Structure 1
Amino acid sequence: MTPTGNWSYPTAIKFGAGRIKELPAACAAAGIKRPLLVTDKGLANLPITQATLDILDAAGLGRAMFSDVDPNPNEKNLAAGLAVYKAGGHDGVVAFGGGSGLDLGKMVAFMSGQTRPVWDFEDIGDWYTRADPAGIAPIVAVPTTAGTGSEVGRASVITNSETHVKKIIFHPKVLPSVVICDPELTVGMPKMITAGTGMDAFAHCLEAYCSPFYHPMSQGIALEGLRLVNEYLPRAYADGNDLEARAHMMSAAAMGAVAFQKGLGAIHALSHPIGAVYNTHHGTTNAVVMNAVLDFNRPAIEDRLGRAAAYLGIKGGFTGFCDRVWELRSTLAIPAKLSEMGVGNNRIDELTAMALEDPSVGGNPVAMTAENTRALFEAVI
């Protein structure tokens, strides 16, 4: 049976098949009368997006849409979105899509009433206090993939188009006031995207679970998220119409994003620069580097992953867990090396420097240095 529920952790979540119909009520609850739906280029003309605009239109909320969003959204996309938002006299955002549409939609709402450049709000210290909270428009988030979990996040990843560095922009009020998780919206996802986004959710749960910081709530959420992906991602991949599997993957994606408040690690520290320089799919990149990072972190995480393996019903402790990751990657047709995704070995020094500056570095269980990070890149490329 497909699960359903109403949750208020970490925000109000309307979860269940067909619940996209509740979007007008969600806008009303958030105080939005003139929403701008922000999504990416690939989703703009798809039936799920047009049907969602029909639902808004029928409720008298118009059908305004901005979709000039790149796979790795940047400050140029943001400026274009803000121009459309202000010209249309909008009072809130419906962030709709995968990570890129959700992240950019959240930033359009956040920046709609700010006077400083977006880079002034990077997730460093208390920089978020520079923002005027009254200038942040309300957000309703509607995920159409089961991966990033950006719908329950208080930050967005925006790529600087000049330096190709991914920056995390944070503010507590960037957390959407209402989230609609309707697994029916994910049914049409291509196999490759189902695999990549699903492994992104797995990476979030895995790195949060292994992070050395203390956050027992996130720890528990990460562990159950790992179980859901392990069990249901192969099913969602094999049959895109398996609504039960799609629903559990949607939960796992949100759980991963809630859990990584506890920290991320080397998987993300490697994949962020690769994605910024080579424009690779983020979740797929995470999957390709995953086993090398597990081996790298083994001295610090062997016992902990042994416990996770037992909970997931995997025999063989740490080794069994790593074998299962390889098995998942094989089932999902994930490339064995980054070279298969167009990543060359001629920019390893640059990638290493970028990785060591990535915020995820601090959450890795084993300290990352120029030497061992470079070796990791060589191993995965």
Structure 2
Amino acid sequence: MTQEQSLTANWGLPNRILVGPGRLQELPSLCSELGFKAPLLVTDRGLANLPMVTGTLTALTAAGLNAALFADVEGNPTGSMVEAGVAAYRAGGHDSVIALGGGSGLDVGKAIAFMSGQTRPIWDFEDIRDYWKRADPEGIAPVIAIPTTAGTGSEVGRAAVISNETQQRKVIVFHPGMLPVTVILDPELTTGLPAPVTAATGLDAFIHCFEAYCSPGFHPICDGIALEGMRLVARALPTAYRDGSDLKARTEMLAAASMGAIAFQKGLGGVHAISHAVGAMYHTHHGLTNAIVLPYVMVHNRDWIEDRIPPIAQVVGLAATTFESVLQWVLAFRRELGIPHTLAELDVPLDHAVDVSRLAATDPSASGNPRPVGTKDLEGVFRNAVQGVLP
């Protein structure tokens, strides 16, 4: 059995996931199987002219599909990007979406498919109580999701994070119907990812697992998935960071990213609450912001998560299973991957600390934090993350 064959599988949780090198080539036949006749290919602007996108579009049209490209997507996607995509979707008479790219491309693609048949503004479907019931489920187009980074896990999620430009905050838009019908995890699409992006997105996957595992509540299924996800990241991310062409490491990182997004249906926490606020106000990279903030939130939560730490220590390969040993491992892991220690290194100032903390306190992720947090708590953590203070 070749390495490529050993990395190939079909998974059915939570949606159908086609895993393995070269599986992007199955996309035209997959579209035919699903009844797609006119898919809109949605991707990040930076990928639009790369062979993975141009070749995919050519393959789709060669298969007789009325496919078109929408690539007006950048990091920290906004409502206006979604609106432009919906306009392109309707004008082209499309019936489906293929979302190919990083977290931004996937989220915008899913949001376009969701909004393609809605009449209310996207903000009416924020992940609050049962707002999702406002949507017309018949107006949601099907999506195939193809990630090119291993981080957000958006390909297995039923939500999209979209920035409200007017309010300067990130909004989690949710509906069960946003879950892609099929996912392709092809590690060959991630081999060209630069090392810094590999590190930042990979740590995002780790933090999804970490926060989900530490979030209170009874969900042993998510806990088990989160622990295995952390184990995979601890093993595979340094390899993928050093050698981007390693298909085994790239496949394991794609798996870990999907696992993190499955696990965090249990909840997230203060890391994501602060990161969402910082990203909305200062347009920082989400995964990188998470990676910087993690140890500061860990210290703040220490008394509430110490009993959860031993299994984490075991899966990342530590002999000692104390909180301090895991904290020091996190700090060393970040250094190994070239992650800055402070938000100040991303040019995030303290000038609007109160505004950041207010946004963070209202973020849905805050409610999953093991230690109850309010504006003052989050402001303190944010200040520490800017200044590099680990009390």
Q: Percent identical across equivalent pairs?
A: 54
The residue that corresponds to 2:385 in the other structure is 380
Q: 1:46 maps to which residue?
A: 50
Structure 1 residue 63 displacement after superposition: 4.1
- Residues paired across the two proteins, number: 381
Q: Is residue 340 from structure 1 mapped to residue 345 from structure 2 by the alignment?
A: yes
> CA contact under 8 A between 2:37 and 2:66: conserved in structure 1?
no
Deviations 1:182-226 (A, max 9, x none): 000001111111011001001100000100022111110000000
The one-character-per-residue Cα deviations of 1:360-380 (angstroms, maximum 9, x if unpaired) are 011000011222211101100
Counterpart in the other structure of 1:307: 311
Q: Distance in 2 between matches of 1:373 and 1:149?
A: 25
What amino acid maps onto 1:6 in structure 2? N
Match of 1:115 in 2: 119
Q: Conserved in 2, the CA contact under 8 Å of 1:30 and 1:139?
A: no
Q: Distance in 2 between matches of 1:120 and 1:7?
A: 33
**Residue deviations 1:247-266, cap 9 Å, x none?**
00000000000000000000
Counterpart of 2:264 in 1: which secondary structure?
helix
Query: Are 1:26 and 2:30 matched, yes or no?
Result: yes
Offset from partner CA, 1:304-357 (integer Å, 9 cap, x none): 112221233212222221111111110111011001101011010100110100
Contact 2:38 2:67 (8 Å CA) reproduced = no
Matched, 1:289 2:274: no
Query: Given the alignment, which residue of 201, 206, 223 partners 2:210?
Result: 206
Contact preservation (8 Å) 1:30, 1:140: no
The aligned counterpart of 2:136 is 132
Q: Which residue of 2 aligns with 1:322?
A: 327
Indicate the residue corresponding to 1:194 in structure 2. Answer: 198
> 23-32 or 366-375, which moves further after superposition?
23-32
- 2:389 corresponds to: none
Q: What is the aligned counterpart of 1:89 among 89, 93, 99?
A: 93
CA contact (8 A) 1:31 1:138 kept: no
Distance between the aligned counterparts of 1:95 and 1:42, measured in 2?
14
Match among 339, 357, 366 for residue 371 of structure 2: 366
Q: Using the alignment, how far apart are the partners of 1:248 and 1:84 within structure 2?
A: 35
Unaligned runs of 5+ in 2: 387-391
Structure 2 counterpart of 1:355? 360
Q: CA deviation at 1:33?
A: 0.8
Query: Which residue number in structure 1 is paired with residue 170 of structure 2?
Result: 166
**CA shift for structure 1 position 30:** 2.9
RMSD: 1.0
**Segments of 4+ moved more than 6 angstroms:** none
**Could you say which residue in structure 1 is the equivalent of 2:271?**
267
CA contact (8 A) 1:26 1:140 kept: no
The counterpart of 2:236, out of the listed 232, 235, 252, is 232
Point out the more displaced range, 293-302 or 147-156: 293-302
Counterparts of 1:93-104 in structure 2 under 5 Å? 93-104=97-108
User: Is the 8 Å Cα contact of residues 149 and 190 (structure 2) preserved in structure 1?
Assistant: yes
Structure 2 counterpart SS, 1:226: helix
Match of 1:179 in 2: 183
For 2:309 and 2:56, how far apart are their aligned partners in 1? 41
Q: Which has the higher mean CA deviation after the structures are superposed, 12-21 or 60-69?
A: 60-69
Give 1:28 shift.
2.5
